[in-house]
Structure 1
Amino acid sequence: MSRVKKDAAIRREDILNATLAAIEDQGIDRIRGADLAKRVGVSTGLIFYHFDNLENLIVSAFRFGASRDMDHLRAVLESTDGDSATRLRAVLHEYGPTGTAFGWRLWIESWSASLRNPELRKVVQTLDTGWRDVLIDLIEEGTRTGEFHCPDPAAAAWRITSLLDGLTVQQVVFDDAVTSEQVADWMELTLSRELGI
């Protein structure tokens, strides 16, 4: 790769990271090309040279964040030794508000914006499905080895992620309406009920 192409790729990544940070800080509806250019230290023209328009930039930023998130999830799975329950808990830790995954403020912003943006909806749904598929695989694995007792891993994964989504929204949006300790306790109760562990 030539130096010019490498520099352009780095600059593009800087813009995407700055866009995600700005969305998390102030929301999608307040994103402005000039503000992003100032954050990155480039011209507004360069922002739109790379992304054409603001909507494309926002979708690209979420796509970039989702890809990075799934790479991180794979790394967590590869680095977590132990039985299926240990690996499942590691994934749920990352998925929840305690982990380093896609910021929950970004998730909430993306869900809201997805109602009006079909392209963003596809990106968000792909990320959501990716996380759930990992959980399904882990639950199926644990069921095969006898660690879990679960007649329907896909349904269990849906219920587990839905519970965690709802609790996390309460914690993030409503300033700790539920505590991290409550989320952890209720998740353990759910795992016990859903998987027999």
Structure 2
Amino acid sequence: MVRVRLSVTERREELLRAAIEQMAARGVAALRIADVASALGVSNALVLYHFSTKEKLVAAAFTYAAEDDLARLRGLLGRRTSALRRLRSAVRWYAPTGQAKGWRLWIEGWAAALREPALREVTRELDRQWKAALAEVIAEGVAAGEFPCPDPEGAALRLTALLDGLAVQLTSYGGAVSRARAQEWVDEALARELGLDRGALTASRR
């Protein structure tokens, strides 16, 4: 079988997608350059030509995996509707009961980042972008008089911390908390951070 010649960009994307699949199957710590190469039927040298080390490959793969979710988040937060509706949609989507990124992969990534500086910088920057996007819309809602949140940045940090923590509970400890209960806590936390009654979140869907 003759392989189609790919551009540098196309080849990198192919390698990144393969790395993501292998990390999901084997775990981040167990991933080897050889696993990615074997999955695509290419040499280890080709993978190393594009990324030079396993650590750089993993960091790039996590960035690649997050791009779609970040674009989706910005799409939800950028809609032409109230800040409250945008926040509710985004938080519900990002929550581990929603349809955001594969949480198992990210939990493993956070653990690996403790020992891999390149991955740590990537996850820190991605985390900053999530929080900044939420804080910006919270501030818009405050300016528009929709809710009285006194600390948009702090609210964004606390919300994402809760969502990440629930993701660990739901992903790593099956049965520790039901999805329905977790969603209740997410709604309660969002309302509390915005200084609203929880009923306002339901009303925001209308």
TM-score (norm 1): 0.88
What is the aligned partner in structure 1 of residue 125 from structure 2?
126
Asked whether the 8 Å contact 2:56–2:118 carries over to 1, the reply is no
Match of 1:32 in 2: 32
Matches within 5 A, 1:1-12: 7-12=7-12
Please name the residue that 1:178 is paired with: 177
Establish whether residue 72 from structure 1 lines up as the match of residue 66 from structure 2. Answer: no
Report matched runs for 1:7-86 at 5 Å: 7-78=7-78, 80-86=79-85
- CA distance in 2 between partners of 1:75 and 1:22 (Å): 29
1:42: Cα distance to partner? 2.1
After TM superposition, give the deviation of residue 122 of structure 1 in Å. Answer: 0.9
Structure 1 distance, partners of 2:191, 2:89, is 16
- Kindly indicate whether residue 115 of structure 2 is the aligned counterpart of residue 116 of structure 1: yes
Q: Deviation at 1:156?
A: 1.2
Structure 2 CA distance for partners of 1:57 and 1:156, relative to 1, 3 Å: same
Contact 1:63 1:123 in 2 (8 A): yes
CA contact (8 A) 1:66 1:123 kept: no
Q: Are positions 1:163 and 2:158 aligned together?
A: no
Report the equivalent of 1:102.
101
Q: Give the AA of the match of 1:146.
A: G
CA contact 1:69–1:102 (8 Å) conserved in 2: yes
Q: Is the 8 A contact 1:164 1:183 kept in 2?
A: no
For 1:64 and 1:89, locate their aligned partners in 2 and report how far apart those are by CA, in whole Å.
Answer: 26
The Cα of 1:186 is off from its aligned counterpart by 0.7
Cα offset, 1:160, TM superposition: 1.1
Give the superposition deviation at 1:138.
1.3
Cα distance, 1:176 vs. partner?
Answer: 4.0
Q: Share of identical aligned residues, percent?
A: 42
Instruction: Provide the C-alpha distance between the structure 2 equivalents of 1:62 and 1:102, rounded to a whole number of angstroms.
Output: 11
Equivalent-residue separation in structure 1 for 2:44 and 2:54 (angstroms): 11
Using the TM superposition, give the Cα deviation of residue 57 of structure 1 relative to its aligned residue in structure 2, in angstroms. 1.0
Distance in 1 of aligned mates of 2:73 and 2:95: 12
- Report how far residue 30 of structure 1 moved: 1.2
Q: Secondary structure at the match of 2:125?
A: helix
Unaligned runs of 5+ in 1: none
What amino acid sits opposite 1:34 in the alignment? A
- Measured in 1, the distance between the counterparts of 2:178 and 2:99 equals 18
Q: Which whole-Å deviations, capped at 9, do the CAs of 1:32-57 have from their partners, x for residues lacking one?
A: 12221222232222111211121221
Q: Give the match for residue 141 of structure 1.
A: 140
Distance 1:40 1:116, change over 3 A: same
Question: Deviation of residue 100 (structure 1)?
Answer: 4.1
Root mean square deviation of aligned Cα = 2.0
**How many residues are treated as equivalent by the alignment?**
193
SS in 2 for 1:177: coil
Distance 1:40 1:86 in 2: 43
Q: Secondary structure at the match of 1:29?
A: coil
Shift of 1:81: 4.1
Q: 1:76 to 1:43 in 2, by over 3 A?
A: farther
Structure 1 match to 2:199: none
